[in-house]
């Protein structure tokens, strides 16, 4: 029998670099890390693929998944809904896979209430100015949405203290390496 996989929550404001750091982390096969693909009602960005970054669904389909109890948690973020498919996460953990959830702060609280043994990590930008530069540099959102995401970030940053670990995303390699150490310690390695 496999040991049940670890549940890892990676949060942090939009544009801090969660996706980038996650991709770096997933290059390390020794972490046995699997990304939980969330469901969202937001539109697909250039370069994203349905089923890889997210399952892109209609508002109606998202509501059906809530009604059918398919989501471990879900939250509204700047006008769209995002949720974690429950069965997939459980199945991967039962197979001994360490599962990474990349979710915002409200969803984190819901997951921690249900799975108190989850490892929680908040990725922090060096400054708000750096965060703004990163969101703008990504060129994926119109100005109004960027402003909303920055306002949301200002509200989310103080919630970092609710997480077991706060990791500074100064460089992708250093942040990923710090998170890898945190995961290995949690795994008892």
> Given the rule CB under 6 A, which residues bind ligand 5GP?
14, 18, 38, 42, 73-75, 77, 82-84, 102-104, 106-107
Closest approach of ligand 5GP to the CB of residue 73, in Å = 6
Beta bridge partners of 39: 55, 83
CB of 79 to ligand 5GP, least distance (A): 10
Taking CB atoms, the residue at the shortest distance from ligand 5GP is 107
Q: Which does 138 bind (CB under 5 to 8 A by kind): ligand ADP, ligand 5GP, none?
A: ligand ADP
Beta strand pairing status for 7-11 and 98-102? Answer: parallel
d(C-alpha 101, C-alpha 11), whole Å: 8
Distance CA 189, CA 184 (A): 5
Our CB check for ligand 5GP shows the closer of 59 and 184 to be 59
Check binding of 38 to ligand ADP (CB under 6 A): no
Q: 152, 78 in Cβ contact below 8 A?
A: yes
How many residues lie near ligand ADP (CB under 6 A)? 14
CB of 72 to ligand ADP, least distance (A): 20
Contacts to ligand ADP from residues 115-174, by CB under 6 A: 134, 137-138, 169, 171-172
Give the Å distances, CA to CA, from 165 to 21, 32, 58, 80, 122: 15, 20, 34, 27, 6
Q: Which residues, including other chains, have CB under 8 Å from residue 162's CB and lie 6 or more apart?
A: 105, 108, 109, 120, 122
HSE, CB side, 13 Å, CA atoms: give it for residue 141: 17
Among ligand 5GP, ligand ADP, none, what does residue 134 contact (CB within 5–8 Å per kind)? Answer: ligand ADP
Provide the binding-site residues for ligand ADP, judged by CB under 6 A: 12, 14-20, 134, 137-138, 169, 171-172
């Amino acid at each position: 029998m496999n040991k049940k996989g670890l549940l890892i929550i990676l949060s942090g404001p939009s544009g801090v670099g969660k996706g980038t750091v996650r991709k770096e982390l997933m290059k390390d096969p020794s972490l046995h890390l699997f990304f939980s693909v969330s469901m969202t009602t937001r539109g697909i960005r250039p370069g994203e693929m349905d089923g890889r970054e997210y399952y892109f669904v209609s508002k109606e389909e998202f509501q059906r998944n809530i009604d059918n109890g398919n989501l471990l948690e879900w939250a509204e973020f700047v006008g769209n809904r995002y949720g974690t498919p429950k069965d997939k996460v459980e199945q991967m953990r039962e197979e001994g896979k360490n599962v990474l959830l990349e979710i915002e702060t409200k969803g984190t609280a819901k997951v921690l209430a249900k799975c108190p043994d989850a490892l929680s990590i908040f990725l922090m930008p060096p400054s708000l100015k750096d965060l703004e530069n990163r969101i703008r540099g990504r060129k994926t959102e119109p100005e109004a949405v960027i402003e909303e995401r920055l306002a949301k970030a200002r509200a989310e940053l103080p919630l970092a203290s609710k997480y077991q670990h706060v990791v500074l995303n100064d460089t992708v390699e250093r942040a990923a390496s710090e998170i890898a150490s945190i995961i290995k310690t949690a795994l008892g390695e």
